[in-house]
């Protein structure tokens, strides 16, 4: 738990308006994102990096040209901050939502990040140590569930 104790999780739930539409439980856009570091190998979402990879950056944001799509990108970088390998893909959203996910992880990182969610919005920003990633996903889901249930 000592690692967890260093986590800073600020959870904000903002409700701009209450809709009368049928409620659909939220999707966490970090749920299927892979982030791990083992024995010199990074799993940086959908790319794997070995050798000189020092860190991994993952972003998921709305496609400015299409509100139904997200642009999901990941990149490994060297100690000097030079990008080594990267991948950018578009992903369809079932229900348009504002998504801003910007995660940085590197060897020896300490987790300091914020996670926020509302019915129309999800944001996860900051540095997350690879070993804390499963907990970041779990905590995000738990926070979402609390918001979802208050609207149930």
Ligand X SMILES: *[C@@H]1O[C@H](CO)[C@@H](O)[C@H](O)[C@H]1NC(C)=O
Residues that bind ligand X (CB under 6 A): 39-40, 66, 68-69, 92
CB of 36 or CB of 68, closer to ligand X: 68
CB of 63 or CB of 135, closer to ligand X: 63
Residue 59 CB, shortest distance to ligand X, in Å, is: 18
Among candidate residues 9, 34, 31, the one with its CA nearest the CA of residue 130: 34
Residue 120 CB, shortest distance to ligand X, in Å, is: 18
Residue 16 CB, shortest distance to ligand X, in Å, is: 24
Give me the sheet containing 41-44, strands edge to edge.
35-38, 41-44, 47-49
Residue 133 CB, shortest distance to ligand X, in Å, is: 19
Give me the sheet containing 121-127, strands edge to edge.
9-12, 112-118, 121-127, 98-106, 55-63, 66-77, 83-92
Contact 78, 84 (CB under 8 A): yes
Q: What angle do CA 132, 133, 137 make, to 5 degrees?
A: 120
**DSSP secondary structure code for residue 94 in this structure:** S
CB of 3 or CB of 66, closer to ligand X: 66
CB of 48 or CB of 68, closer to ligand X: 68
Residue 90 CB, shortest distance to ligand X, in Å, is: 7
Q: What angle do CA 29, 77, 117 make, to 5 degrees?
A: 20
CB of 61 or CB of 125, closer to ligand X: 61
Strands 112-118 and 9-12: parallel
């Amino acid at each position: 738990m000592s690692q967890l104790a260093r986590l800073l999780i600020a959870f904000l739930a903002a409700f701009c308006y209450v809709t009368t539409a049928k409620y659909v439980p939220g999707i966490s856009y970090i749920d299927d994102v892979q982030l791990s570091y083992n024995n010199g190998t990074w799993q940086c979402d959908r790319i794997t990096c070995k050798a000189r990879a020092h860190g991994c950056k993952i972003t998921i944001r709305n496609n400015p040209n299409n509100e139904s799509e997200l642009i999901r990108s990941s990149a490994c970088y060297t100690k000097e901050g030079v990008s080594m390998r990267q991948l950018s893909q578009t992903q369809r959203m079932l229900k348009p939502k504002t998504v801003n996910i910007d995660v940085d992880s590197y060897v020896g990182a300490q987790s300091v990040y914020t996670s926020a969610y509302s019915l129309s919005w999800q944001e996860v920003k900051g540095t997350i140590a690879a070993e804390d990633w499963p907990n970041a996903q779990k905590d995000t889901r738990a926070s979402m569930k609390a918001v979802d249930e208050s609207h149930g």
